[in-house]
């Protein structure tokens, strides 16, 4: 039994890191714009399709991931510049509806551009097969995806916490009016922040391509989990989403031992439980 | 200005409302037979919606859009792969558009919910899907089942595995947690016992699951000879993608009712090579009606048909044949004709069991080819076995077909 728990723990941490990457981008956008990005799932799907197209053209997978990040970041910038910014003048609700609409538009564009048949891609030969840990086997690609996600999160963390740009960004999130008064272009910061968040969604999509393929509706599946992670981590906490992502992956994985059919439902039940006893989430401050 | 309804106006409205329920019947008698194609164009089975519509339209077109001198029209509705939506669409189409025949649904859960409406509104339903309830506990005089019975599917698939891979003896099942998966699991247990397989584990997964590694970790740890997927659609595609990442080549992946031709394109060649899949339909089926169908489909759509299109094509073709056999377009007469007739269908010589309304038909087992052996882009597999063992009568739970 102990080996099975250990095996599911390893699997849960690996999957949880991918959830964390997705939720980290969502958390950045929530912090910047103070709105939940309902188009985040569609950007994730866009990243998967861009990555697929890149590798289909013969580019290495690494460049496919880069293209997924860049393409989704560009879409995020366009979304901010031409949809959210104009809608912000009409208030919070208008922005929410705009993001809902944008998600549907992106999904339909994916269908038009790539068709209704889902797409699959096998990882590069180096990442195929599994690593035997003695008590369990872990697919090499899942191990790679989790380590890669962790590295990306750490890099973005360093960018935000240890650079001048990051200081501006944090100031723009926490005190936008004061930041403007200091002569900093907050709108530009918001645009760059949106690009970063959207790019991370696209990167997560590219990373998920060998695991879940590319379908126009894949964003909706992942968005549900990403919001659960965001709420559990705490809406005000950028890094809470990372811890919560891993937690959700582990809980989901461990539940599969005793009640496999409930392994998805359990994460929603956990979210309700946490909201009841700690409405600000595990790491939220307010 | 405020309008006060006059007594005459009130009576007119009342008469109009009273007549509303019989309007569809009037429409039916005035020269057009309306057939519904209630199928998912969104949701988990979204890929199938257009393909079903294509097959239905082709069957009608090849019949001249006419039967017994009466025009036939098709109307298509999206059931979203959801029972509630399917029921609503069937009810709306019957009430507003005079629909008296329909094919659907593609998903068992949706089709079973629609079956209730079919019995209540006296609509002839030609269903597809893997639940045994269509012809079992929830059988009805107005519902016919085109797809094979789960017993037939499991028996044909595992019989092939037993004969071709006698050294493979242990099975781990992954089962979709709804009626379809449960039916397959029930018959997996029965057939495995009949053929001498040992079931070493099973996990039920929720419908629409997108994360399978937690189940697959258990599968790999149990070291079975066979991973049997009692799941279908996007769920099965995702499970196979993720299993491919484990590199467990010594475990054979078998899907008795898992992926049809339409979906094999969703898997990369190295993910599908060697898969053993039960098939309700495969384009290589060697019958005159199928050759005619494949040629016409290929000419019109520049593609090979799959299960979705074949189901719709054959169901509509069969309904039109039954109308001619009955010399009537009235639902009760067509039902009686279906119950007694035998015909050359797409799958071969076909008939319907009048006690259950299950189509008596063959089931095919296909083995996926490596990319190097494919003759063209859609040459995914070859038929390696055919089975037609019907569900043993003692296992059937359809008590008695009600009177019309």
> Is B205 part of the contact surface with chain A (CB cutoff 8 Å)?
yes
Q: Is residue A284 part of a domain?
A: no
Q: Is residue B401 part of a domain?
A: no
CB B335 within 8 A of CB B119: no
> Is A115 part of the contact surface with chain B (CB cutoff 8 Å)?
no
Residues 6+ apart with CB under 8 A from A91: none
Domain count, chain B: 2
CB B48 within 8 A of CB B308: yes
Q: Mean pLDDT throughout B258-282?
A: 91
Which chain B residues contact residue A213 at CB under 8 A?
237-238, 241, 266
Closest CA to B390 of B177, B132, B139: B132
Peptide linkage before B222 cis (omega within 30 of 0)? no
Q: Is residue B159 part of a domain?
A: yes
Q: From edge to edge, which strands make up the β-sheet containing B70-78?
A: B66-67, B70-78, B32-39, B101-103, B124-127, B143-145
What gap in Å lies between CA B385 and CA B163, rounded to an integer?
Answer: 10
* A122–B246 C-beta distance less than 8 A: no
* Confidence check: pLDDT of B1 > 60: no
Q: Is residue A162 part of a domain?
A: yes
β-pairing, B348-352 with B342-345? antiparallel
Residues B93 and B170 occupy one common structural domain: no
CA distance B279 to chain A (A): 19
Average pLDDT of the residues of chain A: 89
- The pLDDT assigned to B17 comes to 45
What gap in Å lies between CA A183 and CA A200, rounded to an integer?
Answer: 28
Residues B209 and B355 occupy one common structural domain: no
What gap in Å lies between CA A171 and CA A161, rounded to an integer?
Answer: 11
Give A2: exposed, middle or buried? Use CB within 10 Å, 0-12, 13-18, 19+.
exposed
Closest CA to B235 of B273, B184, B283, B305: B184
**Domain of A36?**
2-277
Residues B157 and B258 occupy one common structural domain: yes
What gap in Å lies between CA B253 and CA B259, rounded to an integer?
Answer: 12
Give B11: exposed, middle or buried? Use CB within 10 Å, 0-12, 13-18, 19+.
exposed
Which chain A residues contact residue B263 at CB under 8 A?
118
- The pLDDT assigned to B7 comes to 52
Give A48: exposed, middle or buried? Use CB within 10 Å, 0-12, 13-18, 19+.
buried
What gap in Å lies between CA B73 and CA B78, rounded to an integer?
Answer: 17
Closest CA to B349 of B309, B281, B289, B284: B289
Q: Is residue B2 part of a domain?
A: no
Nearest to B203 among A123, A217, A260 (CB): A260
Which chain A residues contact residue B210 at CB under 8 A?
212, 218, 221-222
Q: Mean pLDDT throughout A255-265?
A: 83
What gap in Å lies between CA A114 and CA A54, rounded to an integer?
Answer: 13
DSSP code, position A60: -
- The pLDDT assigned to A286 comes to 57
> Is A276 part of the contact surface with chain B (CB cutoff 8 Å)?
no
Q: Is residue B1 part of a domain?
A: no
For chain B, positions 347-386, list CB contacts with chain A under 8 A: none
| Confidence bin at B27 (pLDDT 50/70/90) | very low
* Confidence check: pLDDT of B19 > 60: no
* A264–B211 C-beta distance less than 8 A: yes
Distances A175 to A106, A162, A167, A179, B396 between C-alpha atoms, Å: 32, 18, 12, 6, 70
CA distance B264 to chain A (A): 10
Residues B110 and B254 occupy one common structural domain: no
Residues 6+ apart with CB under 8 A from B187: B132, B150, B151, B153, B154, B155
Residues B247 and B373 occupy one common structural domain: yes
* Confidence check: pLDDT of B13 > 50: no
CB B268 within 8 A of CB A122: yes
Residues B239 and B376 occupy one common structural domain: yes
Average pLDDT of the residues of chain B: 90
- What are A173-231's pLDDT values in tens digits? 778 788 889 998 888 888 888 999 999 999 999 999 998 899 888 898 889 889 899 88
DSSP code, position A136: -
Q: Is residue A286 part of a domain?
A: no
Q: Mean pLDDT throughout A105-130?
A: 90
- What are A32-71's pLDDT values in tens digits? 777 889 999 999 999 999 999 999 999 999 999 999 999 9
For chain B, positions 151-180, list CB contacts with chain A under 8 A: 177
Residues B337 and B258 occupy one common structural domain: no
* B210–A136 C-beta distance less than 8 A: no
Cβ-based contacts under 8 A for chains A and B = 115
- What are B182-218's pLDDT values in tens digits? 999 999 999 999 999 999 999 999 888 888 988 998 9
| Confidence bin at A236 (pLDDT 50/70/90) | low
Q: Is residue A266 part of a domain?
A: yes
Q: From edge to edge, which strands make up the β-sheet containing B348-352?
A: B342-345, B348-352, B359-360
Nearest to B221 among A7, A118, A261 (CB): A7
| Confidence bin at A89 (pLDDT 50/70/90) | confident
Write out the two tokens for B320: 């039109």
* B205–A212 C-beta distance less than 8 A: no
Residues B316 and B257 occupy one common structural domain: no
CATH number at residue B258: 3.40.50.2300
> Is B223 part of the contact surface with chain A (CB cutoff 8 Å)?
no
Instruction: Count the alpha carbons within 13 Å of B75 in the hemisphere toward its beta carbon.
Output: 18
Closest CA to B245 of A129, A33, A36, A34: A129
| Confidence bin at B24 (pLDDT 50/70/90) | very low
Strands (E), A31-87: none
Q: Mean pLDDT throughout A8-12?
A: 84
**Domain of B107?**
10-148+286-361
Q: Is residue B5 part of a domain?
A: no
* Confidence check: pLDDT of B317 > 70: yes
> Is B50 part of the contact surface with chain A (CB cutoff 8 Å)?
yes
Q: Mean pLDDT throughout B287-295?
A: 97
Q: Is residue B60 part of a domain?
A: yes
What gap in Å lies between CA B322 and CA B360, rounded to an integer?
Answer: 16
Give percent above pLDDT 90 in chain B.
77
This model of the complex carries an ipTM of 0.81
- The pLDDT assigned to B20 comes to 44
Q: Is residue A155 part of a domain?
A: yes
Give percent above pLDDT 70 in chain A.
99
Find which of A112, A264, A265 to mutate to test the B interface (most B CBs within 10 Å of its CB).
A264
Find which of A209, A215, A225, A254 to mutate to test the B interface (most B CBs within 10 Å of its CB).
A215
Instruction: Count the alpha carbons within 13 Å of A205 in the hemisphere toward its beta carbon.
Output: 40
DSSP, collapsed to helix, strand or coil, labels residue A234 as coil
* B205–A260 C-beta distance less than 8 A: yes
Q: Could you identify the residue written with the tokens 């074949």?
A: B310
What gap in Å lies between CA A68 and CA A53, rounded to an integer?
Answer: 10
What gap in Å lies between CA A64 and CA B110, rounded to an integer?
Answer: 39
Q: Mean pLDDT throughout A138-160?
A: 92
Say which residue, A29 or B239, is predicted with more confidence: B239
What gap in Å lies between CA B153 and CA B163, rounded to an integer?
Answer: 16
What are the phi and psi torsion angles at A85 (to 5°)?
A: -60, -50
Q: Mean pLDDT throughout A77-96?
A: 89
Residues B345 and B319 occupy one common structural domain: yes
Q: Which residues of B252-270 are buried (b: 16+ CB within 10 A; e: fewer)?
A: bbbbbbbbbbbbbbbbbbe
Q: Is residue A113 part of a domain?
A: yes
Nearest to B245 among A211, A218, A260 (CB): A211
Q: Is residue A94 part of a domain?
A: yes
- The pLDDT assigned to B323 comes to 98
Closest CA to B99 of B35, B37, B56, B53: B35
Residues B47 and B63 occupy one common structural domain: yes
> Is A139 part of the contact surface with chain B (CB cutoff 8 Å)?
yes
For chain B, positions 51-80, list CB contacts with chain A under 8 A: none
Q: Is residue A285 part of a domain?
A: no
* B246–A215 C-beta distance less than 8 A: no
| Confidence bin at A134 (pLDDT 50/70/90) | confident
| Confidence bin at B29 (pLDDT 50/70/90) | very low
Residues B119 and B232 occupy one common structural domain: no
* Confidence check: pLDDT of B8 > 60: no
- Nearest chain B residue to A218 by CA: give it: B210
Write out the two tokens for B118: 């079919």
Q: Is residue B402 part of a domain?
A: no
CATH number at residue A56: 1.10.3470
Domain count, chain A: 1
* Confidence check: pLDDT of A90 > 90: no
Which chain B residues contact residue A137 at CB under 8 A?
217, 220, 246, 248
Write out the two tokens for B213: 């590694």
Closest CA to B206 of A22, A259, A251: A259
Residues B122 and B209 occupy one common structural domain: no
- The pLDDT assigned to B21 comes to 43
- The pLDDT assigned to B6 comes to 52
Find which of A260, A264, A267 to mutate to test the B interface (most B CBs within 10 Å of its CB).
A260
Q: Mean pLDDT throughout A127-149?
A: 89
* Confidence check: pLDDT of B283 > 90: yes
> Is A7 part of the contact surface with chain B (CB cutoff 8 Å)?
yes
- What are B156-184's pLDDT values in tens digits? 999 999 999 999 999 999 999 988 899 99
Neighbours of B370 (CB within 10 A): 11
Q: Is residue B380 part of a domain?
A: yes
- The pLDDT assigned to B30 comes to 55
- Nearest chain A residue to B218 by CA: give it: A4
- What are B69-120's pLDDT values in tens digits? 999 999 999 998 899 999 999 999 999 999 999 998 888 889 999 999 999 9
């Amino acid at each position: 039994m102990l080996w099975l728990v250990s095996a599911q723990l390893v699997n849960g941490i690996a999957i949880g890191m991918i959830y964390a990457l997705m939720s980290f981008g969502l958390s950045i956008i929530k912090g910047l714009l103070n709105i939940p990005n309902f188009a985040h799932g569609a950007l994730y799907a866009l990243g998967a399709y861009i990555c697929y197209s890149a590798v289909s053209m013969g580019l290495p997978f690494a460049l496919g991931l880069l293209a997924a990040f860049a393409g989704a970041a560009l879409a995020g910038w366009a979304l901010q510049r031409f949809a959210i910014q104009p809608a912000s003048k009409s208030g919070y609700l208008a922005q929410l509806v705009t993001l809902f609409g944008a998600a549907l538009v992106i999904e339909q564009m994916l269908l038009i551009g790539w068709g209704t048949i889902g797409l699959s891609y096998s990882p590069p030969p180096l990442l195929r097969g599994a690593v035997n840990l003695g008590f369990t086997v872990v697919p090499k690609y899942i191990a790679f995806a989790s380590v890669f996600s962790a590295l990306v999160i750490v890099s973005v963390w360093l960018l935000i916490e240890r650079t001048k740009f990051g200081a501006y960004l944090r100031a723009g999130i926490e005190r936008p009016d004061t930041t403007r008064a200091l002569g900093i272009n907050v709108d530009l910061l918001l645009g760059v922040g949106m690009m970063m968040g959207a790019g991370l969604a696209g990167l997560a999509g590219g990373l998920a391509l060998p695991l879940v393929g590319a379908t126009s509706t894949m964003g909706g599946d992942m968005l549900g989990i990403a919001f659960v992670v965001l709420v559990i981590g705490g809406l005000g906490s950028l890094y809470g989403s990372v811890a919560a992502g891993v937690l959700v992956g582990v809980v989901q994985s461990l539940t599969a031992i005793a009640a496999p059919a409930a392994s998805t439902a359990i994460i929603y039940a956990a979210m309700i439980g946490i909201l009841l006893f700690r409405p600000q989430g595990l790491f939220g401050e307010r | 200005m405020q309008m006060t309804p006059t007594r005459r106006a009130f009576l007119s409205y009342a008469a109009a409302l009273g007549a509303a329920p019989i309007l569809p019947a009037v429409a039916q008698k005035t020269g057009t037979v309306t057939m519904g194609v209630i199928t998912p164009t969104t949701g988990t089975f979204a890929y199938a919606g257009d393909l079903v519509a294509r097959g239905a339209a082709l069957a009608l077109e090849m019949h001249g859009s006419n039967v017994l001198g009466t025009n036939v029209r098709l109307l298509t509705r999206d059931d979203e792969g959801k029972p509630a939506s399917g029921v609503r669409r069937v009810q709306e189409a019957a009430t507003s558009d005079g629909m008296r025949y329909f094919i659907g649904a593609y998903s068992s859960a949706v089709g079973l919910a629609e079956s209730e409406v079919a019995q209540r509104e006296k609509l002839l339903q030609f269903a597809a899907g893997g639940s045994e309830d269509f012809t079992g506990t929830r059988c009805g005089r107005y519902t016919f089942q085109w797809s094979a019975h789960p017993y037939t599917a499991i028996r044909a698939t595992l019989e092939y595995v037993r004969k071709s891979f006698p050294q493979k003896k242990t099975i781990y099942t992954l089962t979709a947690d709804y009626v379809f998966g449960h039916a397959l699991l029930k018959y997996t247990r029965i057939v495995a016992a009949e053929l001498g397989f040992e079931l070493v584990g099973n996990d039920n997964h929720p419908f629409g699951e997108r994360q399978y590694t937690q189940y697959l970790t258990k599968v790999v740890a149990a070291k079975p000879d066979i991973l049997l997927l009692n799941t279908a659609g996007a769920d099965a595609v995702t499970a196979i993608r993720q299993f491919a990442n484990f590199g467990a080549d010594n475990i054979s992946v078998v899907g008795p009712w898992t992926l049809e031709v339409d979906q094999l394109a969703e898997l990369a060649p190295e993910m599908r090579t060697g898969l053993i899949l039960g098939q309700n339909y495969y384009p290589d089926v060697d019958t005159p009606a199928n050759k005619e169908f494949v040629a016409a489909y290929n000419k019109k759509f520049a593609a090979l048909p799959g299960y979705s299109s074949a189901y719709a094509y054959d169901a509509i073709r069969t309904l039109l044949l039954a109308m001619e056999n009955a010399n009537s377009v009235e639902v009760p007469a067509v039902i009686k004709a279906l119950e007694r007739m035998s015909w050359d269908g797409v799958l071969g010589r076909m008939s319907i069991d009048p006690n259950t309304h299950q189509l008596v038909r063959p089931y095919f087992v296909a083995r996926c080819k490596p990319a190097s052996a494919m003759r063209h882009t859609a040459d995914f597999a070859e038929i390696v076995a055919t089975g037609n063992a019907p569900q043993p009568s003692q296992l059937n739970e359809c008590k008695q077909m009600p009177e019309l």
